[in-house]
Amino acid sequence: MIPEDPTPIRREGPIRDILAGAPAWLSGGGEHPDVVLSSRVRLARNIAGFNFVGRSDLQERSAVLNLVRKNLTKSGVVSEDGSGSCWLNVADLDSYSREALTERQIISRQLAKGHRTPEAQGDKDPRAVIVFRPGERVSIMVNEEDHLRMHSIQPGLMLEEALDEISNVDDQIERVLEYAFNSRFGYLTACPTNVGTGLRVSVMMHLPALRILGEIEKVKRAASDMSLALRGFWGEGSEADGDFYQLSNQTTLGKSEEILLSELQGSIVPRVIEFERKAREKLLNKRRLFIEDLVYRSLGVLTHARRLAAPEAMTRLSEIRLGASLGLLDTPKIETINKLLLLVHPAHLQYAAGRMLPTSERKTARATLMRETIG
């Protein structure tokens, strides 16, 4: 949680540089951007000769951290002069900066909190993230659940591009670091469901029409039957704020990267996109007055409200995003709406305000941001 402190937010250093722009995955580009917000590919890797993170002590995690930092430059993944990327020791960051990185989906909540051990609380736990700029398409978490969690995230439906990008990074690192690998099981990971390729592919989808028509539970059941998970905006354990859902594979053992990718991008995701578009068409053709009222009512709230909580802001933005995709609104553009989906959250809201905001002031600041951007 971010403390309630009126202290001005410093606008320098790598964290401030990151927050100064929107990540590339919110650009509204890629294929099928009306339904697919982003595509993500994650690889989990562990270094041979070390215990998994959850079984290691403070000294061993420090050794892993130092080994990774030393070899990333050696591998060529990180340039010697540090251009194009930045290394952030998460333990040294304040709670505001950790929350901001979590909101941007650069780090997980687990990495933000750290591992609490007898030797030290989470704030002192050795852990880091490497962020690649511009666009933050690639990031590498060190000492999360696994020694390395590498992500590539792209706008729209671009899983192949994301896999190619992160596989290149993985290959470069594997030339200088020996991974924990078993000839029978593949890459060894802390969680058994990741053993094998260590690959997790996910697509963030905007499915408001399916939810309105009561069809979203069918999608969830179908996903479960295919060993897929349909989660909320923030991933595992989260709710679908604004009707945004992450569709991802649950297991990796016994399937190649190519099969996992082709199943999701080549078959499953296109079917969900088709279902959502048909649901939108049904709403427009058979319940036009209802959908117009929904969209314009939300537009009215966002352009006139004086106080807005984050969940309501997400819902209203989702509804005007639906209106924009149906051609009911010329402005704001989907790209603008995408960026606002990030800016309504506490850390980014406070960055825009230039100071830490008490909870009582955040609703007012959020409403002001909506009026100034949309109105």
Amino acid at 329: L
pLDDT of 297 reads 98
User: Buried (b) or exposed (e) across 146-180, using 16+ Cβ within 10 A?
Assistant: bbbbbbbbbbbbbbbbbbebbbebbebbeeebebb
pLDDT of 253 reads 61
SS3 for 53? helix
Among residues 150, 175, 176, the alpha carbon closest in space to that of 163 is found at 150
CA distance 61 to 190: 14
Question: Environment class of residue 5 by beta-carbon count within 10 Å: exposed (0-12), middle (13-18) or buried (19+)?
Answer: middle
**Residue 190: C-alpha distances to residues 91, 125, 170, 196, 250 (Å):** 22, 18, 18, 12, 14
318 within 8 A of 211, measured Cβ to Cβ: no
Peptide bond into 134 cis (omega under 30): yes
SS3 for 40? strand
198 within 8 A of 44, measured Cβ to Cβ: yes
The CATH T-level fold of domain 13-40+152-282 is Creatine Kinase; Chain A, domain 2 (3.30.590)
Amino acid at 115: H
CA distance 266 to 348: 35
Judged by phi (left if over 0) then psi (alpha if -120 to 50, else beta), residue 106 lies in alpha
CA distance 169 to 219: 34
* Beta bridge partners of residue 152, listed in sequence order: 41, 138
Phi, psi of 148 (to 5 degrees): -130, 130
Among residues 108, 145, 128, 119, the alpha carbon closest in space to that of 66 is found at 128
Specify the DSSP class assigned to residue 265. Answer: I
pLDDT of 274 reads 95
164 within 8 A of 137, measured Cβ to Cβ: no
pLDDT of 251 reads 66
142 within 8 A of 93, measured Cβ to Cβ: no
DSSP string, 270-323: HHHHHHHHHHHHHHHHHSHHHHHHHHHHHHHHHHH-S---HHHHHHHHHHHHHH
Low-confidence ranges of the chain (pLDDT < 70): 1-13, 117-123, 234-240, 251-255
pLDDT of 252 reads 61
